[in-house]
Amino acid sequence: MTGPVVNKARRGVFLRSLVCWLLLYAVLLTIYNGTYHLTREVLIGKVQVAPASFLLSWTLPDVDIRYDAASIQTPALVLQILRGCDGVEVWAMLVAAMLVFPMPWRRRWQGLVWGTLLLLVANLARIVSLFHIALTRMDWFDIAHGVIWQGVMVLLTGAFVLGWTNPRRVSAEREAFS
């Protein structure tokens, strides 16, 4: 009878983790919105715009790419990186998940590092691809920006969290560390 009891207990933990994930995410998002004026220079300018501009110069060698604190420009196009375009919302999902799902602390930190790298790369790919789409097929931009990439970023975070919080692997690591 151990199987179903453990199963039921795990499901309880899973449900509780989902609820805590939502609550912590709401708290983190509120903090982010409240401190956006303090963080935007770094989170948008340094972490997103500058590397994305470098990648665009690399992928579009014939185009004159310039950038400032919150936008990437060509003579024909200005792409503004606004709040929400910096990937912090999905990163907040990742941070909240790593904090609420049961796993050893070492695994939490590793998950934060790998997840952060994954989301950073994904968001740079998002900005670069959207810039290319805006240059070549402007009529695709809205759906690519508002639907496809938003969904992809959330699903990527969800997939990472599902894979990283896999209970069997976590319990195996817990036993290994104990």
Partner 1 sequence: MTTRSAAGMLTRMCAVFAVVAWCVYAFPSAWLWPVTGPTAWLVEIGCPYLTDMSVEADGITVVARGDIAVSLSLSGGEPLPRVPGVWHKHGEQTLSIFAVVFAIWAAPTISWRRRVALAPVAMLGAVLVAAFVLSIEIQWAALKMIGYEWLAGLPLARTADNWKYFGQMEQWFRVISWIRAFHDGGGRLFLALLAGLIGYAIPWRTHGTPAIEPRGPSTAAAQPIHAT
Residue 41 in tokens: 């220079």
- Smaller CB separation from partner 1, 18 or 64: 18
- Smaller CB separation from partner 1, 30 or 59: 30
CB of 61 to partner 1, least distance (A): 31
Binding site for partner 1 (CB under 8 A): 3-4, 7-8, 10-11, 14-15, 18, 21-22, 25-26, 29-30, 32-33, 83-84, 89-90, 92-93, 143, 146-148, 150-152, 154-155, 157-159, 162-163, 165-169
CB of 57 to partner 1, least distance (A): 29
CB of 73 to partner 1, least distance (A): 25
According to DSSP, the residues that pair with 79 across neighbouring strands are 72
